[in-house]
Amino acid sequence: MKKFSLRKKLLPSVMALGLASAMTFSGSAHAIQVAEDGMGQVLLAPIYQAMPGQSTLITLINTSTTHAVKVKAVFRSKKHCIEVLDFLIYLSPGDVWRGTVYNKDGQAYLSSNDDSIRNLPNTDSFAVLNPVDFPLFDQRLETGSASTDTDDDINEMGIIEFIGHYSVSGTVVPGVGSPVTIRQGMDKFDLARIFDMGVQEIELMNPLLCSSTAIPPGIASDTCPVRVNDPANLKLRGNIEIITGTGRMAYQMTALDGTVGTPVIANPSLNIDVSTETAIGDAWGYNTLFVGYDNILEIEEAIATSVAVGSYENGLSYEGGNGLSRYTGIQVSFPTKYRHRGDVCKTFAIVDSFSGQYYPPMTLNGDVKFQNRSFDNQENSLTVGGSSVSGGADAVVNALTDCSNMLITPDLFNYDSGAYHFNLLATTSGSGSCQYAGVPALVQTYKYIANSSGGDAEQHMFVPASTR
């Protein structure tokens, strides 16, 4: 296994989408979906926070009690989704990994004493023996001009990807050493003996039938003990809890899942490690013509939205004789934004991978325009600029500049309570736009409740917005 690399270069295939993706997109539309049960092969955490006085608790669950799973965790920065930390997680059947991102002296750190990960930077020991306390990287973060610092990126806030790779069950005979039986509570060093081998060695462990060129994806894992494309037995679930100086807020990660024969990661020969960057969708697809095509468009179609709808409350209300101050914000993340430094959507733009510019549905500098329309509880007319507008009014068009955005401003809403319609405006370029409607985004309503009479403690929570 290669050791951790402090500096990585994005894979060339990520910067320029191959022809195969455009050819296969229409034939497999809707095969990848956001899982309603919260379990899937890939998990997306739209926000973590580790600013001074903040920390984020992370829980990752292998829901299978018969299969072990190899997972890659990737932390990405607030503004440009730059990879700031990655590591491998070894989950035995029914296993749970726990970690914390916290701030120490102005720097974000990952902490964990869980036996499911190695002691970073990926030494031969596991965290249960040598607890992890490792800083997130700053070397690759982009900075603005010295005079303005308007474009500085940070790793104290951002998004997380959990990529389910191989699953394994039964008793497996690795190339070296005694057989390994997969079971709950097994030795993680035994699990690493299987998962840390290269893809060629793993294919030798499987029967000939399991060759990536011999069968389509989705074959039963009891026939092929080590498989990357087994959606039935690769079901991850995850939760995030953010602790601030005034309260806690939690949410369930968004899970991407596929159908039998078309899982999210369908390439049987895909290998992941920490020496190269693993970008979402890159070489994940599979069909009878292409092994390892880029299925980013199918993934983006699964999360694309034009309008997110939620409720809001702002101001003082009285419940049980207590005065409760309520405030609402909107949290928006673009987990695939970094893929759009190439012409992913095939708008026939002239791509310059060295310029740092973005392509649709983002603007050239990476912004996404939005409008917010708010209604009160009776759908009454709103007053904007001194004129009455029936049924709602569009707020001033603004832009979301980051990979992970927190919008907490009274300008978002026009009443004390009601509903909002948050409109994301996709950018087009060249002779076309993206092959899906809207923008690939995850939207949540952030709610804050404080007891102004000094009784109950403050409450914070995330509520997923309905999207269409």
Cβ(239)–Cβ(183) under 8 Å?
no
**Cα(412)–Cα(446) distance, integer angstroms:** 13
pLDDT for the residue numbered 2: 35
Q: Which residue has the higher pLDDT, 99 or 286?
A: 99
151, burial (CB in 10 Å: exposed 0-12, middle 13-18, buried 19+): middle
pLDDT surpassing 60 at residue 385: no
pLDDT for the residue numbered 405: 96
pLDDT (mean) for 252-264: 85
Report the run of H or E that residue 302 belongs to, with start and end: helix 296-303
Confidence of residue 280 (pLDDT cuts 50, 70, 90): very high
Q: Which residue has the higher pLDDT, 98 or 423?
A: 98
**Mode of pairing for the β-strands spanning 171-172 and 180-181:** antiparallel
Q: Which residue has the higher pLDDT, 226 or 442?
A: 442
pLDDT (mean) for 290-295: 83
pLDDT for the residue numbered 90: 94
Of 168, 170, 234, whose CA–CA distance to 202 is shortest? 168
Of 139, 94, 137, 99, whose CA–CA distance to 118 is shortest? 99
pLDDT surpassing 90 at residue 238: yes
DSSP 8-class letter at 55: E
Q: Domain ranges in the chain? A: 12-301, 306-467
Confidence of residue 18 (pLDDT cuts 50, 70, 90): very low
What is the pLDDT of the chain when averaged over all its residues?
Answer: 79
- Give the CA distances from residue 143 to residues 224, 367, 404, in Å, rounded to whole numbers and listed in that order: 47, 16, 17
pLDDT for the residue numbered 50: 97
- Name the β-bridge partners of 448: 327, 460
pLDDT surpassing 90 at residue 247: no
pLDDT for the residue numbered 89: 94
Cis status of the peptide bond prior to 121, with omega within 30 of 0: yes
Q: Which of 199-213, 275-289, 422-436 has the highest mean pLDDT?
A: 275-289
pLDDT for the residue numbered 11: 37
Cβ(16)–Cβ(135) under 8 Å?
no
**Cα(174)–Cα(188) distance, integer angstroms:** 15
pLDDT for the residue numbered 129: 78
pLDDT for the residue numbered 9: 38
Percent of the chain beyond pLDDT 90?
40
Q: Which residue has the higher pLDDT, 371 or 228?
A: 371
Enter the pTM of the model. Answer: 0.86
Q: Which residue has the higher pLDDT, 386 or 182?
A: 182
Cβ atoms within 10 Å, residue 106? 8
**Cα(400)–Cα(389) distance, integer angstroms:** 26
Opening angle at CA 257, ends 253 and 263, nearest 5: 145
